[in-house]
Amino acid sequence: MEAGKIKIALTGNPNVGKTTLFNALTGSRQHVGNWPGVTVEKKSGSVSYKEYDIEVIDLPGTYSLTAYSMDEIVARDFIIEEKPDIVIQVVDASNLERNLYLTTQLMELGSKILIVLNMCDIAEERGDRIYIDKMQELLATPVIRTVASQKEGICDLLDKVIEQKEVQQHHGHEIGYGTEIEDRILEIEKVLAEDETRDTRYPLRWISIRLLEGDSNVREKISKSPVYDRVIQIIDSIDQEEYEAEIADKRYLAINTVFPQMCTRANGKLTKSDMIDRVLTNKYLGIPIFLALMWGAFELTFAFATPFMDMIDLSATWFAEYVSSSLQPAWLASLVGDGIIGGVGAVLVFVPNIFILFFLLSLLEGSGYLARAAFIMDKLMYKIGMHGKSFIPMLMGFGCNVPAIMAARSIEDEKDRLITILVVPFVSCGARLPIYVLFAGTFFGRQAGTVIFGMYVLGIIIAIISAKLLRATVVKGKPAPFIMELPPYRVPTLKTSLIHMWDNGFMYIKKAGTIILVGVVVIWVLASFPWGVQYGSEDSYVGSLGHAVAPLLKPLGFDWKISVALIFGLVAKEIVVASMGVLYGAGESSDVLSDRLIADSGMTALTSLSLMAFSLLYMPCVATVGVIRKETGSWKWAVFAIFYGIIVAWITAFVIYQGGVLLGY
């Protein structure tokens, strides 16, 4: 036999360290977190070990192989249809009983199983004892002990994989479900076997059990079979809920009969994780600590980032000047200098914020605290028609809406997820801050801080109202039940956090290099043509565009210049400030711009307030729209987000401006 390829699939409960093991095996850098459900799609990598090429596929974590979420269907279809040589179930040693539930289901699938006992360190800290030899014997499956985060036991595992590949063992273990159910299973199996055209990859017993459990995905799979009607007849004759419970019962019963022989669980020893939980979810201290930690995270994101932002700012300015002065002809110098470097530079300035934000989020996630944040905030979120898990994406939104919307992936329920995605853009991201700083600073002097804070609050209020509104109209129904595992706290690994930071931060840089680059070139063209006009003046295309839109925005107190700035801001909100600079001929200096804004009779404190509110709410930036389209899978919701945003912004700004005028400001 050719010493060649082995295909292995990693499966297991969420949060048991599959991805860590995957990284340890393949050296790949997949995102790992201590938050159930991080791996959304399957990922593959490979490793060469002794003459073998081993392909490793990391499947999404699942608690069982039923079909209530996409993840589970992905995992089980892969195992059945792709027939990997060996299915490796990663098992959390500190949580053996529930993990074995999945094992019982994998055994029914009839594939070669190998169990990896991971996180033994946590189990041992707690005082649990696991008898691996006994476990192998009882489960009739090889069991390997690893600590994936320390790369312990990886070679043992690979040796075992190769050894198992050669063994022609097939799994004999099956769970008996009691006479009544077994009779039904036999009955269905018999009917199904009559179908000559059936897909033989699926074990008959497995299909029968699934059908009895009311698995809609399996039902659909056999819907073309000529015996379908007869099968359904059998299924309809039973009390499905009763069967469902009975089958789950029997599985746990089977586990319970073998479990005490392979593991003794320490009782009541106070672990570090219990200690931390006792305080962090304390009735009185839980919320203050949560707020303090969030404040700390934002303090770091903004204060610690400042010198790095200044460095980028200085280099961009220097580079733009250098290019402008050394390039010929003039239009090219203007395009590269004013347009590309100025525009992209304005966005790259935020890279340090984004990097730090992701690093901190990864620490929170890896430590297990994010799950507690959802736990602590669920009641509040539920009240506004959202899910506890929506809280984290909303929080990330303060940094940047793009990753925030991606973070909504961890929400299983489609409706909950959709609402979160649509509401996140109202959370005031870092890019909107420069707008507030400029206008509040110019027109509100000592009250600037309060005004800026007010903008953040306004964003949150609009988000809450929108969530309620969406729940009442487009996305009807109640938030999905909150059923979540609170994983034990762990010390997050620096490497994982750095990888997470780099991957997500790099995405932001890529955005600056693509969407925003295109955006700034378009703006430059519109502002410079017809050729010969003053850059960004009334006679340029952009000037005409501003004049065309201005009547619509007049009731909000905006003139053509603001209209132009707002149009530019569609690309990325930070561009609003940059284009005001251009339109007022103030260049890079914000002091000059402030003076000119005050001198302009069209700009008052009231207009600036209206403008800040409008910038906060009107359509999400291009990158956000793009990610909404990608994450919801359709343009429908992206377009909805655009129009909804514009309408909300217009109404809010109208109320502020006209209300202010009425009150005599």
Partner 1 sequence: MNEDQETTLDTLKPGEKASIRKVRVKGTARRKLMDMGMVAGTEIELVRNAPLGDPMDYNIKGYHLSIRKEEAKQIFITKL
Partner 2 sequence: MDISGTVDEKPDTRLPMIFSLICGFLYVILGLLQMVAGAGRILIGTDFVMPLSGILFVPADVIGSFVLLLIGTVFLYGVMEMRSGTYEGISYAYVGILLALIFAVIYLLVSTGNMLEAYLLGNEEFADWTLLSDMKPGIYLAILPLFAYIKWKDFFEPTTEASFRMDLK
Does residue 249 interact with partner 1 by CB under 8 A? yes
Residue 655 annotated as lining a ligand binding site? no
Return the residue of 279, 332, 380, 472 that touches partner 2, per CB under 8 A: 279
In terms of DSSP bridges, do strands 86-92 and 113-118 run parallel, antiparallel, or are they unpaired? parallel
Partner that binds at residue 267, options partner 2, partner 1, none, CB closer than 5 to 8 Å by kind: partner 2
Q: What are the structure tokens assigned to 59, written together?
A: 């499947």
For the CA atoms of 640, 459, 554, 469, the dihedral, rounded to the nearest 10 degrees, stands at 40
Does residue 521 interact with partner 1 by CB under 8 A? no
Return the residue of 136, 217, 225, 281 that touches partner 1, per CB under 8 A: 281
Return the residue of 127, 445, 477, 587 that touches partner 2, per CB under 8 A: 127
Cβ-based nearer residue to partner 2, 313 or 538: 313
Does residue 486 interact with partner 2 by CB under 8 A? no
Cβ-based nearer residue to partner 1, 49 or 482: 482
If one counts every other C-beta atom within 10 angstroms of the C-beta of residue 483, the result is 7
Does residue 244 interact with partner 1 by CB under 8 A? yes
Strand segments (E) across 508-639: none
CA atoms within 13 A on the CB side of 605: 10
Does residue 416 interact with partner 1 by CB under 8 A? no
Return the residue of 183, 310, 321, 539 that touches partner 2, per CB under 8 A: 310
Residue 343 annotated as lining a ligand binding site? no
Question: Which residues make Cβ contacts (< 8 Å) with residue 175, sequence separation at least 6?
Answer: 104, 107, 108, 250, 251, 254
We find the least distance from the C-beta atom of residue 52 to partner 2, in angstroms, to be 33
Cβ-based nearer residue to partner 2, 293 or 469: 293
Separation of alpha carbons 126 and 278, rounded Å? 16
Return the residue of 248, 300, 533, 592 that touches partner 1, per CB under 8 A: 248
In terms of DSSP bridges, do strands 52-58 and 5-12 run parallel, antiparallel, or are they unpaired? parallel
Residue 268 annotated as lining a ligand binding site? no
Cβ-based nearer residue to partner 1, 224 or 379: 379
Partner that binds at residue 190, options partner 2, partner 1, none, CB closer than 5 to 8 Å by kind: none
C-alpha pair distances (Å), 514 with each of 87, 168, 344, 623? 41, 53, 10, 10
Helix (H) or strand (E) holding 354: helix 351-367
Does residue 193 interact with partner 2 by CB under 8 A? no
Return the residue of 49, 228, 482, 640 that touches partner 1, per CB under 8 A: 482
Separation of alpha carbons 582 and 537, rounded Å? 9
Residue 155 annotated as lining a ligand binding site? no
Does residue 354 interact with partner 2 by CB under 8 A? no
Return the residue of 20, 30, 89, 94 that touches partner 1, per CB under 8 A: 94
The site that binds partner 2 (CB under 8 A) totals a number of residues, namely: 37
Residue 17 annotated as lining a ligand binding site? yes
Cβ-based nearer residue to partner 2, 352 or 385: 352
Does residue 70 interact with partner 2 by CB under 8 A? no
We find the least distance from the C-beta atom of residue 315 to partner 1, in angstroms, to be 46
Q: In what order do the strands lie in the sheet with 113-118?
A: 43-49, 52-58, 5-12, 86-92, 113-118, 143-145
Residue 660 annotated as lining a ligand binding site? no
We find the least distance from the C-beta atom of residue 141 to partner 1, in angstroms, to be 20
Residues 411-470 interacting with partner 2 (rule: CB under 8 A): none
The 3-state DSSP class for residue 264 equals strand
For the CA atoms of 80, 82, 87, 90, the dihedral, rounded to the nearest 10 degrees, stands at -90
Return the residue of 227, 327, 465, 480 that touches partner 1, per CB under 8 A: 480
We find the least distance from the C-beta atom of residue 372 to partner 1, in angstroms, to be 9
Separation of alpha carbons 204 and 174, rounded Å? 13
Return the residue of 485, 503, 588, 595 that touches partner 1, per CB under 8 A: 485
Return the residue of 241, 307, 328, 633 that touches partner 1, per CB under 8 A: 241
Separation of alpha carbons 358 and 443, rounded Å? 34
Distance of CA 383 to the CA centre of its chain: 23
Residue 24 annotated as lining a ligand binding site? yes
Strand partners, 53: 5, 48
Residue 263 annotated as lining a ligand binding site? no
DSSP conformation class of 490: -
Q: In the 3-class helix/strand/coil scheme, how is 364-410 assigned residue by residue?
A: HHHHCHHHHHHHHHHHHHHHCCCCHHHHHHHHHHCCCHHHHHHHHHH
**Nearest residue to 642 (alpha-carbon basis) of 612, 621, 627:** 621
Partner that binds at residue 96, options partner 2, partner 1, none, CB closer than 5 to 8 Å by kind: partner 1
We find the least distance from the C-beta atom of residue 562 to partner 1, in angstroms, to be 42
Residue 72 annotated as lining a ligand binding site? no
> At what angle are helices 351-367 and 306-326 packed, to 10 degrees?
150
Q: For partner 2, what does the binding mask look like between residues 242 and 271, x meaning CB under 8 A?
A: ----------------------x-xxxxx-
Partner that binds at residue 248, options partner 2, partner 1, none, CB closer than 5 to 8 Å by kind: partner 1
For residue 326, give the amino acid letter: S
Cβ-based nearer residue to partner 2, 127 or 585: 127
Residues of 176-192 as b/e, b for ≥16 C-beta within 10 angstroms? ebeeebeebbeebbebb
Residues of 509-521 as b/e, b for ≥16 C-beta within 10 angstroms? eebbeebbbebbe
We find the least distance from the C-beta atom of residue 275 to partner 2, in angstroms, to be 4
Separation of alpha carbons 212 and 235, rounded Å? 6
Longest dimension (CA), the chain: 90
Which phi and psi (to 5°) does residue 417 adopt? -70, -45
Separation of alpha carbons 218 and 207, rounded Å? 7
Does residue 382 interact with partner 1 by CB under 8 A? yes
The 3-state DSSP class for residue 572 equals coil
Return the residue of 269, 379, 495, 510 that touches partner 1, per CB under 8 A: 379
Residue 11 annotated as lining a ligand binding site? no
Separation of alpha carbons 340 and 478, rounded Å? 47
Does residue 228 interact with partner 1 by CB under 8 A? no
Does residue 272 interact with partner 2 by CB under 8 A? yes
Q: For partner 1, what does the binding mask look like between residues 43 and 72, x meaning CB under 8 A?
A: --------------------xx-x-x----
Cβ-based nearer residue to partner 1, 229 or 241: 241
Does residue 265 interact with partner 1 by CB under 8 A? yes
Which phi and psi (to 5°) does residue 462 adopt? -60, -40
**Nearest residue to 341 (alpha-carbon basis) of 322, 354, 363, 369:** 322
Residues 96-135 interacting with partner 1 (rule: CB under 8 A): 96-98, 101
Q: What are the structure tokens assigned to 285, written together?
A: 């201290």
We find the least distance from the C-beta atom of residue 256 to partner 2, in angstroms, to be 18
Distance of CA 73 to the CA centre of its chain: 19
User: Which residue matches tokens 């009607």?
Assistant: 229
Do 542 and 523 contact (CB within 8 A), yes or no?
Answer: yes
Does residue 296 interact with partner 2 by CB under 8 A? yes
Residues annotated as binding site for Mg(2+)?
Answer: 23-24, 26-27
- Give contact residues for partner 2 (rule: CB under 8 A): 124-125, 127, 129, 264, 266-270, 272, 274-276, 278-280, 282, 284-285, 288-289, 292-293, 295-296, 299-300, 303-308, 310-311, 314
Residues annotated as binding site?
Answer: 12-19, 23-24, 26-27, 37-41, 58-61, 118-121
- Give contact residues for partner 1 (rule: CB under 8 A): 63-64, 66, 68, 94-98, 101, 213, 241, 244-245, 248-249, 252, 265, 277-278, 281-284, 286-287, 375-376, 378-380, 382, 388, 480-488
